[in-house]
């Protein structure tokens, strides 16, 4: 896929904008899932993904090919998400409280073989996980999501977040300790 991405990038830079549309189709769902976990808000996640693809398109000529296109795209998305979190921490907290009070759920599976009870359990567990993730600092949340949910390698995470691998390991350790404490508090309460 790496060489195919590079081919599409080259075609796009040569004026075939449909090639970029193929890159969007290829990566938008994975990118949305990561950003949703970072923000905890579907609308913010959609906005960030759109902004990410727009920024990527506008700066496509600066993509050097030293990393995978997806890694470069992730970096733009994660940095955009973290910037949003820093700028609007108070507003996001209000939205989260309202969302939890209104019991707004992630879009559900409407397929025939979905089980209502199982779907509700999953939605509740997803809300619980997102609630705990929202209590972490943006930096801790980002490393936990990238490593434990997305399964990224330390080097890729360092590239995405623009910090050394040692910082990634340190943040991940602290994030897991903080997460463990939050889970203990939740179990006691």
Percent of the chain beyond pLDDT 90? 28
* pLDDT attached to residue 166: 93
Decide if pLDDT at 97 tops 70.
no
pLDDT of residue 183: 79
Contacts of 90 (CB under 8 A, 6+ apart): none
pLDDT at 95: 54
Most confidently modeled of 40-44, 102-106, 171-175? 171-175
* CATH 1.10.1740.10 fits domain 2-106+115-188: yes
- Residue 100 confidence (pLDDT) above 90: no
Between 120 and 18, name the one with better pLDDT: 18
Q: Where along the chain do its domains lie?
A: 2-106+115-188
Question: Rounded to whole angstroms, what are the CA distances from 118 to 20, 37, 102, 124, 125?
Answer: 38, 21, 20, 10, 10
pLDDT confidence of residue 24? 94
Percent of the chain with pLDDT over 70: 79
Q: What is the pLDDT of residues 124-168, one digit of tens each?
A: 777 777 788 888 888 888 898 888 888 888 998 898 888 999 999
The residue ranking higher by pLDDT, 75 or 101, is 75
Mean residue pLDDT of the chain comes to: 80
| CA angle, 8 then 52 then 16, to 5° | 25
| CB distance 131 to 179 below 8 Å | no
Residue 146: phi, psi to the nearest 5? -65, -40
Query: Model-level pTM greater than 0.85?
Result: no
Predicted local distance difference test score (pLDDT) of residue 133: 82
């Amino acid at each position: 896929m790496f060489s195919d991405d590079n081919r599409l990038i080259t075609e796009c830079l040569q004026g075939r904008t449909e090639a970029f549309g193929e890159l969007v189709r290829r990566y938008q769902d994975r990118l949305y899932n990561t950003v949703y976990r970072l923000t905890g808000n579907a609308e913010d996640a959609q906005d960030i993904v759109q902004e990410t693809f727009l920024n990527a398109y506008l700066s496509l000529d600066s993509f050097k090919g030293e990393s995978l296109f997806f890694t470069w795209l992730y970096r733009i998305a994660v940095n955009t998400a973290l910037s949003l979190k820093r700028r609007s921490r108070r507003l996001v907290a209000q939205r989260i409280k309202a969302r939890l009070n209104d019991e707004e759920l992630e879009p559900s599976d409407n397929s025939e073989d979905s089980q209502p009870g199982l779907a509700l359990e999953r939605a509740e567990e997803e809300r619980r996980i997102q609630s705990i993730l929202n209590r972490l600092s943006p930096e801790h949340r980002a490393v936990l999501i990238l490593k434990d949910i997305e399964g990224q390698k330390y080097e890729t995470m360092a590239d995405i977040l623009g910090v050394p691998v040692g910082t990634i390991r340190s943040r991940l350790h602290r994030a897991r300790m903080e997460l463990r404490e939050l889970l203990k508090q939740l179990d006691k309460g």
